[in-house]
Amino acid sequence: MSSIAHILNRPDVLERGEGRAPNILKTLLAIQAELGHVPPVSVPEIAGALGVTDAQVAGVLFSYPDLRTKPAGRHVVRVCQGESCVANHCGRVLKELEKKLGVGLGETTRDGRFTLEKVYCVGNCAASPTVTIGEDVYGRVSPATAEALLKDYR
């Protein structure tokens, strides 16, 4: 059984909501939680298991920014682009991280250690600029302190 088939057979994924229809988003998030991303080649398999069309699955997969269609690096570094961070000149932090990591937004370092992304607000606006690494949130980040955040993430 493929790893995706295994997830699709989990009781919490199979469970039908009160609407009696499968929840495509919940299913894709469950797959991503296990595999780190949802491979687009698996769309027909997922659609078949849920009893919906390929287009319905693909539509959901490609419309949510946090659903990944390819693997990310071991640690996802996100620089917040919310208005409070913009007001606190987060662009300078982003530039510094791009320089230190040698990648641009949406790219992964060659060693697979970091993927650099932007995010629109994580609610840390009163301690901006904000950088997140995985689920860890860092506030009051400056271009001078940004690189030091990375060292604990191997």
Partner 1 sequence: MTRRLYIPQDTSARAVGADRLAGAWEKEREVEIIRTSSRGAFYLEPLVETDGPRGRIGWPNATEKDLPRILRGEEGTPVADIPFLAKQTRVTFANAGVTRPLSLEDYRSHGGFVGLDAALRQAPEKVVEEITISQLRGRGGAAFPVGRKWQAAQETHADRKYVVANADEGDAGTYCDRMVMEGEPFRLLEGMLIAAYAIGATKGYIYCRHEYPAAARTLREAIKVLTEAGYLGEDALGGNARAGGRFTLEVFVGAGSYVCGEETALLQSLEGKRGVVQPKPPYPAVSGLHGKPTLISNVLTFATVPSILARGGAWHAALGTEHSKGTIALQIGGRVKQPGLAEVPFGLTLDAAIEEFGGGMATGARFKAVQVGGPLGSLFTKAGLKTRICYDEFARAGAILGHGGIVVFDQETDMVELARHFMAFTADESCGACTPCRIGSVRAREILEGIVQGRGRPGDLELLADLGETMKQASLCALGGRAPYPVLTAIEHFRKEFR
The distance of closest approach from Cβ of residue 131 to partner 1 in the complex, given in angstroms and rounded to an integer, is: 9
51 binds partner 1 (CB under 8 A): no
87 binds partner 1 (CB under 8 A): yes
Candidate list 94, 130, 143, 146; residue touching partner 1; CB under 8 A: 130
Nearest CB to partner 1, comparing residues 95 and 102: 95
The interface with partner 1 within residues 62-81 (CB under 8 A) comprises 63-67, 81
Nearest CB to partner 1, comparing residues 73 and 82: 82
Of 68, 79, 127, which Cα lies nearest the Cα of 101? Answer: 79
Cβ contacts of 21 within 8 Å, gap of 6 or more:
none
138 binds partner 1 (CB under 8 A): yes
Binding positions for partner 1, rule: CB under 8 A:
17-19, 21-29, 56, 59-60, 63-67, 81-89, 119-128, 130, 135, 137-140
